Structure 1
Amino acid sequence: MTRTLASIALLISVVYLGLCVALFVFQRALIYFPQPRAAGGPDTVLKMPLEDVEIVVSTRLHEGRKALIYFGGNAEDVSWNLSSFAEAFPDHALYLMHYRGFGGSSGSPSEEAIQQDALALFDRVQTLHPEVLLVGRSLGSGVAIRLASQRPVSRLVLVTPYNSIEELAREQFAIFPVRWLLRDKFESWRYAPGINVPTRVIVAEHDEVIPRWSTEKLFRQFSPGVATMAVIRGKGHNTVSDSPEYLRLLRSTP
C-alpha cells in the first residue's frame, strides 16, 4: 500500500513538473496571437527597420505638431482602427504599431522586444510631431504606460488596462508557480506612479477578460489628479470600441 501511494505521488509529481515545463516553454503562445494586416494599402504602411527586425506600422501621415501612437491587444490587427481614428483625430498623424509577428512585422513577440520597438517608434515620431498621444488597449496598455514613463508624451489613454499580466496569470494558473515561470509580466503598476501627464482609463462595464479589480488596482497607483476613469456601459472587453462613447473618450482631455 505504501509503495502504491509512493508511486502515485511520484507520478503526480512527474506530471506536475511536466506541465510546469510545458507552461514555461509555450507561455508566449498563450499570450500572443499574431494577426495579419487586413486593412489599408501600401500608402498606409511604414516599415521601420531595426537592428534585427523590420516593424510594420499602419499610418495616416499628417503634417503638424500632433501624433497618435496606438498599441493594440494580444490578438488585434491594429490596422482596422485606421479609418475610425482618422475621422476622430483629423489633426493627428497616426501610427499603429504591429507587434513582432503581427501584420507583417518580422521576429517573435516578447515584452522586452515590443518595448524596445515602441521606444524606437516614439523617438522617430517625435522628431516630426512634438505632441504625442499614446493609446494602449488591453495588452497594449502595458506597453503604453511603460513608454509614457520613459518618454515625454502629451497625454495617455489606457483602454481595458490591467495591473499586471503576472497577477492575472496567477489567478488563471493558480496551482503553478507563475512568479517563477512567467517571462513577460507587464507590470503596469510599476510605472503608473511615474506618470505625470493627463491619463484616461477606459473600462468596459462587462469586461470578461480583465477583471475590474485589476484595473482599479492600477488606477490607485497613479498620483492623485493624474488619471480619471470612465466606464463604457453595456460593453465587454472586445466590444468596448463599438460604443459611440469610445472615440469621444479617446479625444477628450481628462
Structure 2
Amino acid sequence: MNYKFVLGFILIVYTAVCVIVYFIQDKLIFFPRPIDRESAGRITESRSCLEEVFIDTPDGVKLHGWLCRKDIHAPVLLYFGGNAEEVSWLHENHDFPRDWSLLFVNYRGYGLSQGKPSETDLKKDALLIYDYMMQELGVAPSSIVIKGRSMGTAMATHVAGHRNVDGVILVSPFESILQIARSTFPFLPVKLLLRHPFHAAKDAAGVKAPLLCFLAEQDQVVPPSSSQALYDAWAGEKELVVLPNHDHNTIMSELYLWQNIKLFLHNIREN
C-alpha cells in the first residue's frame, strides 16, 4: 500500500471538508423565515396596539418589525428571536404583562427585513433598534427589559452590555457559538473557520443588569452546560431556572417559565 498516497488523499478530503464548512456555515447558523407584505398587514390589523416599525441601517438595509404600544411611559420589553424564528408570532402571545409595550423586529433576511444576516451586522442592528426605540418611536419608558431566545440571547446580552437596561431575560442562552461548534465538530479547526463566533459570555462579564435565565435540561441544540457557562459569566444579580422536562423547542410552552417572567417584570417595575 502506498501510504503517502493514502495520507495525501486523506489530507485532500479533510481540506475539502474544511472549505465546504467555511462556505456553507451561514446555512448552518442562520435559517431566515420570510413573510409577505399581505401577511404583515394582517398582523398589524389584528391588534389595536400594533404598529409597523421600519428602521434604516447605515449600510442601506431596511429592518421591519412591530411595536405593541401601550402608553408613552409604559415599560418596554425588547425581544430578539432565535436563529430560525420569524418574530411576528408574538402578536398572538398573551403571556406578556398587558401593561408593557413590546417591540419585536426581525433580523436581516427574516420576515420583511432586507439584507443578509451576520454576527457583526446583527449586533450593530440590535443597538440600532434600541436607539431607534428611544429616539424615534415616541416612547419614554419607565423601564426597559431585553429578552432573547437562543441566538437572540447573544443580541440581548450585547445590548445590555452597551446600553442602559433594567433587566435581561434569556431563554436557552449559550457561552459562544464557537464553543458549541467545537463540541459538534471536534475534528475541525473551528476557530479558524468560524466567521460568526458569537462570544456572548464576553459581553455577559460586563453586564450589571439583573438576569433571569432559563435552560432546558433536555436541550439538544444548546447544551445546558453552555447555558450554565453564560449564566456563570454574568456579572450582575442573577437567577437561574432549570426546566428538567423540556428541550430547545418546548421550553417556551412551559407555564412556569411565563410565571417567572411575569414576576420578574413586576419586580422590576415596582423597583
Q: TM-score under structure 1 normalisation?
A: 0.93
Query: How far did 1:62 drift?
Result: 2.1
Q: Say which of 250, 259, 263 aligns to 1:248.
A: 259
Query: How far did 1:44 drift?
Result: 4.0
Are the aligned partners of 1:67 and 1:129 in contact in 2 as well (CA < 8 Å)? no
Q: Unaligned regions of 5+ residues in structure 1, if any?
A: none
What SS does structure 2 have at the residue aligned with 1:94? strand
Amino acid aligned to 2:53: L
What SS does structure 2 have at the residue aligned with 1:252? helix
Partner Cα separation in structure 2 for residue 129 and residue 233 of structure 1: 39
Amino acid aligned to 1:250: I
Partner of 2:122: 114
Partner Cα separation in structure 1 for residue 5 and residue 91 of structure 2: 59
Q: Say which of 141, 162, 165 aligns to 2:153.
A: 141
What SS does structure 2 have at the residue aligned with 1:149? helix
1:99 aligns with 2:94: no
What SS does structure 1 have at the residue aligned with 2:165? coil
Are the aligned partners of 2:146 and 2:160 in contact in 1 as well (CA < 8 Å)? yes
Q: Unaligned regions of 5+ residues in structure 2, if any?
A: none
Partner Cα separation in structure 2 for residue 118 and residue 140 of structure 1: 10
- Following superposition, which runs of at least 4 residues in structure 1 exceed 6 angstroms of deviation? none
CA 1:159–1:87: 2 relative to 1, 3 Å: closer
What SS does structure 2 have at the residue aligned with 1:194? coil
Partner of 2:208: 196
Partner Cα separation in structure 1 for residue 55 and residue 29 of structure 2: 24
Q: Output one character per residue of 1:121-145: Cα deviation in whole Å (capped at 9) or x when no partner.
A: 1011123234211000000001110
Q: Say which of 219, 231, 234 aligns to 1:219.
A: 231
Query: How far did 1:249 drift?
Result: 2.0
Partner Cα separation in structure 1 for residue 116 and residue 110 of structure 2: 9
What SS does structure 1 have at the residue aligned with 2:233? coil
Amino acid aligned to 1:232: L
1:165 aligns with 2:177: yes
Partner Cα separation in structure 2 for residue 28 and residue 170 of structure 1: 16
Partner of 1:229: 240
Q: TM-score under structure 2 normalisation?
A: 0.87
Partner Cα separation in structure 2 for residue 199 and residue 156 of structure 1: 5
Partner of 1:205: 217
Q: Output one character per residue of 1:52-94: Cα deviation in whole Å (capped at 9) or x when no partner.
A: 101011321222241111101100121112222x552212221
Partner of 2:92: 83
Query: How far did 1:146 drift?
Result: 1.1
RMSD between aligned residues: 1.7
Are the aligned partners of 2:160 and 2:207 in contact in 1 as well (CA < 8 Å)? yes
1:74 aligns with 2:72: no
Partner Cα separation in structure 1 for residue 217 and residue 162 of structure 2: 30
Are the aligned partners of 1:126 and 1:132 in contact in 2 as well (CA < 8 Å)? no
Quote the sequence identity (%): 31
1:152 aligns with 2:164: yes
